[in-house]
Amino acid sequence: MATIGMRLRERRKKAGLSQEELSQRLGQMSTSARQTHISAIECGHNTPSLALLANMARVLETDPNDLLDWGTEAPKEGSVE
């Protein structure tokens, strides 16, 4: 199962951005989006705030649910999520 960090790295590379470039684009939106923070998220050492996650998704032109991998399907009846 892919982590938020793995999905973030995948989307960032697909967008053709380095961690530094993503950090610069997020800099206007969030002061906590430094390159080291992005690296730590991608490595699984940190978890982004919901606000940062939403801003990263916006910059990467994806839906926050794609980074969370929640999908759009409702849980099956009787299943425990």
- 9 within some domain: yes
Count of the separate structural domains present in the chain: 1
- 62 within some domain: yes
User: Which CATH number do you get for residue 49?
Assistant: 1.10.260.40
What is the model's pTM? 0.76
Count Cβ atoms within 10 A of the Cβ of residue 38 and give its class: 0-12 exposed, 13-18 middle, 19 or more buried: buried
- 21 within some domain: yes
What is the sign of the dihedral through the CA atoms of 26, 9, 57 and 80?
negative
- 16 within some domain: yes
Q: Tell me: the pLDDT tens digits for 45-77?
A: 999 999 999 999 999 999 999 898 775 554 556
Number of CB atoms found within 10 A of residue 77's CB: 5
Q: Is the predicted pLDDT of residue 31 greater than 60, yes or no? A: no
- 80 within some domain: no
| Reported confidence tier of residue 33, pLDDT bands at 50, 70, 90 | low
Half-sphere exposure of 31 (CA within 13 A, CB side): 0
